[in-house]
A and B are shown apart, each in its own frame.
Chain A
Amino acid sequence: MLCGGRGFGRGGGHATVPFVAANPWFSWSYITQHASELLSATRQHVALTVWSVLVATCIAVPMAVVARRWGWSRGTILTGVGILYTIPSLALISVLQAYFGLRPITVEIALVGYALLIIVRNTLIGLDGVPAEVREAALGMGFGPTRLLTRVEIPLALPSIMAGIRVATVSTIALVTVGAIVGNGGLGGLILEGLNNLYRAEIMAAALGCVLLAFIADLLLLGLQRLVTPWTRRRAG
C-alpha cells in the first residue's frame, strides 16, 4: 500500500523539473497543517460510501432473490446491471447531474448503480450454492417459501453476500473520487484541487487516504462477516 507512495517518490527524485523541490510527492506537514480539511473530506467520503453500499445492498439482494425464484428474470436482471456497470462513471455522473444538479444524490445514484452488479452476482452465487438436500430437508420440516428464504437460504448465502459487499465497498471508496467533478467527491475534491494547483502532496494525501479507508473498511467488514457467520469459522477451523 505504501509502496505505491515510495515508488512515486523515487520517480519524483529523478525528474528534472524546476519546481520539484517545492512540490514534494509526499509531505507530512501538508497532512498536519490541513488535518481539518482532510477530516471533513474523509467524513463526506465515508458518508457517500456507507449510504451507497447500504442502498445498493437493499436493492441487490431482493433482485438476486427474484432472479433465482423466477428463472425468466435472471437473464434480464444480470444483463441490466451488467450494462449499467459498463457505462463509464464520468458519463453516468454527467447525465445524472443534468437532472439532479451538483448534489450528493447525483454521485450516490451512480455509486449505487455500480455496486449493484457486484452484490447481485455474489448473492446469486451464494443462493445457487445452497445444497438441494438442505432445501429439501427444510421443506420436509414444514418451512414455507418465506421461512426457507430467510432462515435457510439467505444465512447459507451470507458468506458470499458479504464477500460481494466487501468488494463493492472497496471499489466504491475508490470511485467516490470521480464525484469531485460535480463537487461531491469526498477526498476526490482534494485530488481535483491538487490538479488545479499542481500540488502533489495534496493529491497523494487524498489518494493514500482512499487506500487507507478501503483497508479499514475491508477489515471492519471482514470482522462483521465473521460475527454474522460464526459457523463458517468453526467449520474451517
Chain B
Amino acid sequence: MNTILGTWHWLTTAEHYRGTAGVPHRLLEHVVISGIAVGLAVLIALPLGLWLGHVGHGGAVAINVSNIGRAIPTFAILVLLATVPSLFGDAGAVLALLVFAIPPILTNAYVGMREVDPDVREAAVGMGMAGITLVRRVELPLALPLVAAGVRTATVQVVATATLAAYVGAGGLGRFIADGFGLQDTPMILSGAILVALLALVTEIGLGRLEVGLTPGRRRGSPTPGGAAQVRG
C-alpha cells in the first residue's frame, strides 16, 4: 500500500516534471532515440525487403535473419556496443535498436510483396506494367497492410527496448527505472515503469489505428501481423 501511495506521490510531484531529468525531457529523449532508430531501419530495410519480394529471391535469407535475431538478447547487443567508448550512451543505443528493428520490417515487406496474388501481378504485366510502375501501382498497395504491420511491430519493440538503453548511459524514460534501482527508490522505479508501459501501449494502439486506416476495406481482417513476431527487449 505504501508503495502505491509513494508512486502516486512521485507521479504527482511537480518537481519531477522540470528540467533535463524531468518526465517531459526524458519522454522526449525516449521518442527521439526510438524515432531515429526506426527511421534508419525503415530507410535500410524497407527498400531491400520490397526489392527482394519484387524479384522473389532471398526469402530464406530474410526469414533466417529474423529467426536468428530473435535468439540474440537485445540486452547483450546494447551492452556490447556500450563497451566502445564512443558508442556509450545514445549513439550505441540507436545502433543496437536499429539492429533489432530491421528484421521485422524486412520480413514483413518481403512476405507482403510475395503474398500479392500472382494472377493480379500477371494481369498488371499483361496491361504493360513493369518494374517501378508495377511495384508502385499494384504490388505495394496490396502489400501495404503487412508492410505497415512490420513497421508497427518494429516501432513498438524499439520503444520497449529503448528502456533498457538507460543501463548503457542513454537517456529516455528507462532512466527512472535504472536510477531508481541505483537509489533503491521504489516509487521512482514504479513511476518509470508505469510511464514506459503507457508509452508502449499508446504507440501500439496508435499505430494499430493508423494501420487499419491504411488497409482499404479491411481486406485482411484484424490488424494482426502475419509476418515476423516482435523481438522482446
Q: A residues touching B (Cβ–Cβ < 8 Å)?
A: 1, 4, 8, 11-12, 15, 17, 23, 25, 82-83, 85-92, 94-95, 98, 114, 118, 121, 167, 170-171, 173-178, 180-181, 188, 191-192, 194-195, 198-200, 203-204, 206-207, 210-211, 214-215, 218
Does residue B181 face the partner (Cβ distance < 8 Å to A)? yes
A76 to chain B, nearest CB (A): 14
Q: Is the CB of B163 within 8 A of A90?
A: yes
In the assembled complex, which residues on chain A have CB atoms less than 8 Å from the CB atom of B201?
Answer: 83, 86-87
Q: Is the CB of B82 within 8 A of A195?
A: yes
Q: Is the CB of B164 within 8 A of A1?
A: no
Q: Which stretch of B8-16, B45-53, B118-126, B188-196 is in the interface?
A: B188-196
Does residue B167 face the partner (Cβ distance < 8 Å to A)? yes
29 contacts between A and B (CB under 8 A): A11-B84, A15-B84, A85-B230, A86-B156, A88-B163, A89-B160, A90-B163, A91-B200, A92-B193, A94-B180, A94-B181, A94-B193, A95-B190, A98-B189, A114-B232, A167-B70, A167-B229, A170-B70, A174-B71, A180-B75, A181-B167, A181-B181, A191-B73, A191-B76, A191-B79, A194-B79, A194-B83, A199-B83, A206-B76
B177 to chain A, nearest CB (A): 5
Q: Is the CB of B160 within 8 A of A210?
A: no
Count B interface residues, CB 8 Å.
Answer: 47
Given contacts A86-B200, A91-B197, A195-B82, contact A170 B71 (CB under 8 A): yes
In the assembled complex, which residues on chain B have CB atoms less than 8 Å from the CB atom of A11?
Answer: 84
- Cβ-defined partner of A195 (8 Å) among B159, B167, B232: B167
Does residue B141 face the partner (Cβ distance < 8 Å to A)? no
A221 to chain B, nearest CB (A): 13
A13 to chain B, nearest CB (A): 12
Given contacts A17-B85, A86-B201, contact A94 B177 (CB under 8 A): yes
Majority SS at the chain A contact face:
helix
- Cβ-defined partner of B73 (8 Å) among A8, A86, A175: A175
B83 to chain A, nearest CB (A): 5
Q: Is the CB of A94 within 8 A of B190?
A: yes
CA–CA, A110 and B3, complex, Å = 20
- Cβ-defined partner of B197 (8 Å) among A87, A191, A218: A87
Does residue B68 face the partner (Cβ distance < 8 Å to A)? yes
In the assembled complex, which residues on chain A have CB atoms less than 8 Å from the CB atom of B168?
Answer: 195
In the assembled complex, which residues on chain B have CB atoms less than 8 Å from the CB atom of A90?
Answer: 163-164, 174, 177, 193, 196
CA–CA, A206 and B159, complex, Å = 25
In the assembled complex, which residues on chain B have CB atoms less than 8 Å from the CB atom of A173?
Answer: 71
Q: Is the CB of B75 within 8 A of A191?
A: yes
CA–CA, A4 and B103, complex, Å = 15
CA–CA, A82 and B174, complex, Å = 22
Given contacts A173-B71, A174-B72, contact A91 B177 (CB under 8 A): yes
Q: Is the CB of B85 within 8 A of A174?
A: no
Q: Is the CB of A203 within 8 A of B73?
A: no
Q: In the complex, which residue of chain A has the Cβ closest to the Cβ of B167?
A: A195
A219 to chain B, nearest CB (A): 12
Q: Is the CB of B232 within 8 A of A91?
A: no
CA–CA, A229 and B103, complex, Å = 30
Q: Chain A CB within 10 Å — which of B85, B159, B174, B232 has the most?
A: B232
Q: In the complex, which residue of chain A has the Cβ closest to the Cβ of B203?
A: A86
Does residue B80 face the partner (Cβ distance < 8 Å to A)? yes
Interface positions, chain B 161-192, Cβ under 8 Å from A, are 161, 163-164, 167-168, 174, 177, 180-181, 186, 189-190, 192
Given contacts A83-B201, A86-B204, A87-B201, contact A95 B76 (CB under 8 A): no
CA–CA, A89 and B224, complex, Å = 21
Given contacts A114-B232, A206-B76, A210-B72, contact A95 B85 (CB under 8 A): no
In the assembled complex, which residues on chain B have CB atoms less than 8 Å from the CB atom of A1?
Answer: 68, 71
In the assembled complex, which residues on chain A have CB atoms less than 8 Å from the CB atom of B164?
Answer: 88-90, 178
Does residue B231 face the partner (Cβ distance < 8 Å to A)? yes
In the assembled complex, which residues on chain A have CB atoms less than 8 Å from the CB atom of B230?
Answer: 85
- Cβ-defined partner of A210 (8 Å) among B67, B76, B204, B232: B76
- In order of increasing CB-CB distance, the 10 nearest A-B pairs are A214-B71, A207-B76, A91-B193, A88-B160, A177-B73, A174-B73, A94-B193, A91-B196, A177-B75, A87-B197
